[in-house]
Structure 1
């Protein structure tokens, strides 16, 4: 009994260490050079630098000349969105290589190199000005968000970085996002659903909003900002935000466009980063919801290298990753079998084992049915270690008997597995295939 107790303590310790390690995994660390300049450059210095570099952007010259001629607009009109984040990212990279005094002299790049292709170009108006008062280039071709919408942007929560703006006269930062950035972090604000619910409909300036879309935007910012840390524990906290989101998405057709747009931008942004976006989606609790609700389209978007990297980390949503791969245009049955074998071999519960080797969502050819049946037999010893009960044994039939061929294979599987099941528990296998 003492030996058994000691064994259980060891198992519990190993499990706790694994959970701790998973929750404290850092998907991307703040580079040492980035940490170094953050310790030397004050917030005031960075604000001044950000304002200076915004002034030097060639594409902004007409707008800044307008502010110079209209002093009342200087505290109201700000550059924002992807251009601002790109500028901050560029400054981070430059400050890693040069001291502050030298970076002040380096001209910023053109706007197109600061943003991903097709990205919006955003301007915030915080006061009573109307966008029609701005130079035509900006009022017509750019996305100009006026005060009423910006007030709702703050109320809906999401990425704090999304609320920042800059112009040659200073930085607008109502939620202190810059402080987080200078600590190598980006924070997410989760607004209570009772307050958020009205933005899901069409009664406010912001319509058809969802927390899923906000989370996807936040994840894109995390991937884009190379000098910020990405921790598994922070991503896990986002899964709490999405806990009830799937049910709230039902029958909300208008919301799909914004989620799809946010996901497309996230995928586009990931092409410029070495961060595996499927791993990020998975750890944030978004992957399964997106997959089950048809937001992850089939095609070549999901290369096997990306799938494998995310798949190799033990998570319960591995089968969502497998399902995504199976629907891609380059899906290969032999690769799928390899992934299924790995998932079954490392399953922690009977339910995970069933999901790994469930034929009903996989390739239909008979050769594939036969191969999966062989995987059941190959992993029988592990299945038995999971202590299946009588109902679990009957689920073996359900998982293998969608066709007569499958039922035949199911009988073969049970026969082979029963040989590995010790005699006293053989009754559990009776009358499953009659």
Structure 2
């Protein structure tokens, strides 16, 4: 339920909302819908829900070619607002949003996400990061934070698609709780134009719309902090007018000339200063103007190394340590390899695996020694027979042969 309602006695629902809200016919094929309430899944008194909005959208005439979405809303629930935005995007008619008072929070990305956005003079747009309430333990809080980050990037993508810039740019704008006047919204690329008030009656109508909601919940924002995602041309102008101006002022101060000196005067003064300093750069005794930086002594170098928390070691010692470490790694690898082979050879002796598969099982041990050993340990011994089953006889002799040999003698 939304936090934007003023004193219930002072709060009046939009008449068109009371009619659920019936579209107002305008020009041929054009209808107007007013989003003049908080966005709330409860609907009814508490605001407008996505379901209520879509029900009205579905009842629009088939020949509707343009929907004018008139907005004065403090925003509300993110997912309800996204559902409203996507229902407008899915409608075949062109959707033109007009901010008549305020488009804050989730109402701002509905406004930015349709085909066109125009802002009445004196109206405002407010963008910020998503909020949430969470009750639970630390894990619940962490998950809520991750969910909010996902929602923030989703919303920032809507602003970036409308105004340009990156998602990260708009995440920073949202983090700053940024307010935009009508002109600033156009300059930032969020809005396409400012609709000028035609008279005092229009100005009063906008002010009345602005005052309809209790926006104190947005008081985290430090005044009207406004950010702009500059175009490439604006960025280039900023670089020239900001840092370049500062550089000229600094040069003028260093060279002892007027701060408002033109470029030619600054260049001439700089050339003169350089000529005065142009001395032979060669080092040596008696060379006027020569500036030679002496190399630090050994003690100074050691002191600097120690101050940085480092230790100086001779190159030979470092090379020896590296060689020993490499040999140690090789020895450890050999030990592991021999241990793996011993496990496989034991499995072969136990008749668990055939010798022809030795390399396969050795490679498996290298990839996952613990898992492979567990598999081998679970195999039944004697699956591969190596001992002789039964007894063999000499096929070259028989009882008949022995009788023949006793009668006639053995053949030579």
- Same fold flag (TM > 0.5): no
TM-score category, normalised to shorter length = under 0.3
Higher strand share: 2
| Larger radius of gyration between Structure 1 and Structure 2 | 2
TM-score calculated relative to the size of structure 1 = 0.22
What is the TM-score of this pair, normalised by structure 2? 0.23
